[in-house]
Amino acid sequence: MEEFLIYLSPDIDTTINKQLVELGYSTISGSNSDIDLQNKHIRLFILTTKINNLDFAKKVKSNLHKEILFIIDDTINQINTDDLVSLEPLGVLSMPIIHYEFKINILSIVKKLSKFNLISQGEIWSQALMNATTDAVVEVDSMGKIKHMNSVAQQLVGIENHKAVGVEAQRVLQFKISNNEELNYTDEVFDEYIEFEGEIYNRIAKQFIHISGKMATVKDNNGNSKGKTIIIKDIRELKNLFSKINYHTSHDNLTGLLNRKSFIEETDKIITLSKFDGRNHGLIVISIDKFKVVNDTCGHTAGDELLRKIAYIINENDKFKIAGRISGDEFGILVDDASITEIKHLTKSIKTKISQQDFIWGEKEFPIRCCYGIVTINKNTVDHYTLFAAVDDAISIAKEKGGGKIEIYNNLQDEYNKRRGDMSWMHKLKNAISGDLFELYYQEIIPISPEDTKKIEILVRLKDENGKIITPDIFIPPAEHYGIMPEIDKIIIEKSVLFCKELIENPKNDSKYILSVNLSATSMLDKSLASYIISVFQKFKVPPTLFCFEITETSAIKNMNIAKYLINNLKAVGCQFSIDDFGSGFSNFSYLRHMNVDYLKIDGSFISEIIDDPISLAMVESINNIGHILKLKTVAEFVSNKEIQEELIKIGVDYLQGYSISIPTPLKNLLS
C-alpha cells in the first residue's frame, strides 16, 4: 500500500500530530523553505492560517496540485478571505480541536484522496474521466443536446440519465451563473475551456445548489467540434466553510456580536446613507462600570460571562439590528432611522433590562451597572472618528456623574469645545500665568486617630477676567492638552510653600498641618522637578517635612523609574508621598513594594458606592488591608455622608476626606 504522508507546518499544535499518529498516519514537519516538496508520498498539507503559510499554500496548490487542510488560529482576522477561498482547501477547522471531529475529517479526506488525483487545468478531457466518481460530468453533443450524464451529475440535477439524453442542455442544466452570463453549448468560439461559478437547480430538492464548473470544447483529429464536456463541482460544503471563516473575521468570538472592525464598517455605511437620505440615525455605546474590578476580583472567566450576559440582553431586542463589541468592556448599537427621543427611549429600555439583572458568580451576587452614551448620526456627521470621539466623551461625562447614567450628545462641536477646550484656552491660561490669576483652596484630610497629624490637600482655582471662579475640571484638561500643566504645577508649589511659611510665622496659628500637593503626570516626567522643589524650600526656609506630594496610580505605573527617582530624591530631604486614585488602575499591588510612599488614597469612585455596591466595599477593604500590611496609611476621599464615614471607620481607614468632612475653602482663610 502506498505510504500516505501528512505534512504539518511547524506552528501546528503538537496534539494534532499525536492524534494523526494514533490514527496510523505518518507525519513530517519542518520549515516551509526546507521541506522537500517533491516528496511524492506527501498527500496532504495541514497548515495554520498565519500569513506566512498562505504563500507556501499557493506554491503547494499551483506547483504540486496537493490538497490542504487549514487550522484557524488567532491571526485569522489578518487573512484576506478571498485569498483563502482561491486555494479551495479540503476543510477548515477551528481551535481548540475536538478529537472526534478531527478524526472524522481526516478519515473522510484520506478516503476522498484515495479515489482521485487532481491534475492540471489544461487536461480537461482527462479530468472528466478521472473525476467521474467525485464530480458531476455531463457530455453535450455538437447540437447542444445531452449525450451522457454520470451518476453524480444525475444526483446533482435530480434527473436520470436516460430521461436527459437527447434533451437540450439548456433545459436540463438550469444554471444561475454569477456574472449573469449564459452557457452556449453549440458555440465553437471556446478553443479550450471556460470556468464559471454560480448555482444549479435540483429538481428533487426543488432548490438551487452552489456549484463551480468548467466547460471544454471537444474536437476530433480534424479540429471539428464534437460537443462539450462540462465538469461540475458541488461546493455547498466549501461555501459553508467560507461562511464560517467570514463569520470568524467579522464577529467577536466571545459574544457573537460584530467585532470593532465590522461595526465601524457598518457605521460608515449609515454615515454615508444619512448624507444621501437626510434621515437621522443613532449610535448607542454601553460601557460596563468597574468591569476591570470584576475581572480582578472574580477572574477573567467571570468577566467573560458578564460580557456574554450583556450581549444576550442586547440581542434580545429586535430593534437593535446592528450591534457589536467595540472594546474590552464596551458595546455599540446602531439605530436606523430614529429621532433622538426614540433613541433615548430604546436606551432607557436596554438600561432597565440590564439593571434588572444580577450577575451571580459562585457565592457572590453583584448588580450590573453600565454607562450609556448617545450620539446622533445625520447629514452633518463628518466620519466615524469624530462620531466615536464624541461618544467617548459622552461615556466619560456619564462616569464622572457617578456611573449608571445616560448621556446624550446632540451638538458635537459645542461639546468638543466644552470637553477639550479650543485654541482660546491656550491664551486664557497664558494670561492667567502672567496675570497671577490662580488661587489656592484647601480641603481638610482628618485622621481617625488623634496621634496622626492633620493634613490639608491644596486645590487650585482660576479667576477669570470677570472675577468668576473656574473649577479645575474645566481648565486642567486644556492645560494638559497644550502642555501648560508643568508651569501651573510650579506656580502651585511656590504659592503653597510661601503659604506654609506664613502659616508657621502666624502667631494665631497653633495647629500643625501637612500640606498635600498634587503633581501632574506631565510634571513628573521633568527630571529637574525634584531639584526645583528643593530649591523652593530653601528659598523660603520651609521644612520639607511639612509637605506630602500626591501622584496618581496610573502615572506612577506608566513612569515607574521616573516616579521612583522623584520620590527618592524628595524623600531624602524629608517629604512624604501619596499614591492618589489608587484602585483606578488596579493592575496589582506588587509595584508598591518598590515605591517608597507613605499613603494610599483610595479611588473615590469606590468610596462613594461602598454602601450599595458589594464590589466597591470589597475593593476598599482589600486596598485598606494590603496598605496596612505594607505599613502605609490609607486615605478615603469622596466621603459624602455620615453613613459612608461610619462604614470607613469600621473598615479601619486612617484618614477621611470629602464634603461631609469639609468643603473646599480659600487657603487664605486658614490664616485667619
Evaluate if residue 587 carries a pLDDT over 50: no
Query: What average pLDDT does the structure give for the chain?
Result: 83
Measured torsion, CA atoms of residues 359, 360, 364, 370, in degrees rounded to the nearest 10: -10
- For 663, other C-beta atoms within 10 Å of its C-beta total 10
Is the pLDDT at 586 greater than 60, yes or no? no
For residue 53, pLDDT over 60 is answered with yes
pLDDT in tens, 461-499: 999 878 889 999 888 888 887 788 999 999 999 999 999
What's the confidence (pLDDT) of residue 648? 96
Q: Where are the alpha helices (DSSP H) in 206-277?
A: 236-250, 260-277
Please, which pLDDT band fits residue 117 given cuts at 50, 70 and 90?
Answer: very low
| Contacting residues for 372 by C-beta, under 8 A, at least 6 apart | 284, 285, 286, 287, 347, 350, 351, 395, 398, 405, 406, 407
Q: What is the pLDDT at residue 131?
A: 45
What is the DSSP code string of 113-156? Answer: HHH-----TT-HHHHHHHTTTTSEEEEEETTSBEEEE-HHHHHH
Q: Note the pLDDT tens digit of each residue in 285-333.
A: 999 887 877 777 778 888 888 899 899 988 887 777 799 999 888 999 9
pLDDT digits (tens, 9 = 90+) for 119-128: 333 344 444 4
Higher pLDDT, 82 or 604: 604
pLDDT higher than 70, residue 129: no
Instruction: Evaluate if residue 278 carries a pLDDT over 90.
Output: no
C-beta neighbour count of 130 within 10 angstroms: 17
| pLDDT, position 222 | 72
Question: What is the three-class DSSP state of 295?
Answer: helix
Contacts of 69 (CB under 8 A, 6+ apart): 44, 45, 46, 47, 89, 90, 91, 92, 93, 105, 109
The answer to which of 114-123, 160-169, 298-307, 497-506 has the lowest mean pLDDT is: 114-123
Higher pLDDT, 238 or 536: 536
Exposed/middle/buried for residue 504 (C-beta within 10 Å: 0-12, 13-18, 19+): middle
| pLDDT tens, position by position, 24-47 | 888 888 776 656 666 667 888 888
When pLDDT is averaged across residues 591-615 and rounded to a whole number, the result is 86
Instruction: Give the residues across from 91 on adjacent strands.
Output: 69
pLDDT of residue 589: 62
pLDDT tens for 380-400 read 888 888 888 888 888 888 887
pLDDT at 421 over 60: no
- The pLDDT of residue 116 is above 50: no
Question: In the chain, what percentage of residues exceed pLDDT 90?
Answer: 30
| 8 A C-beta contact, residue 458 and residue 519 | no
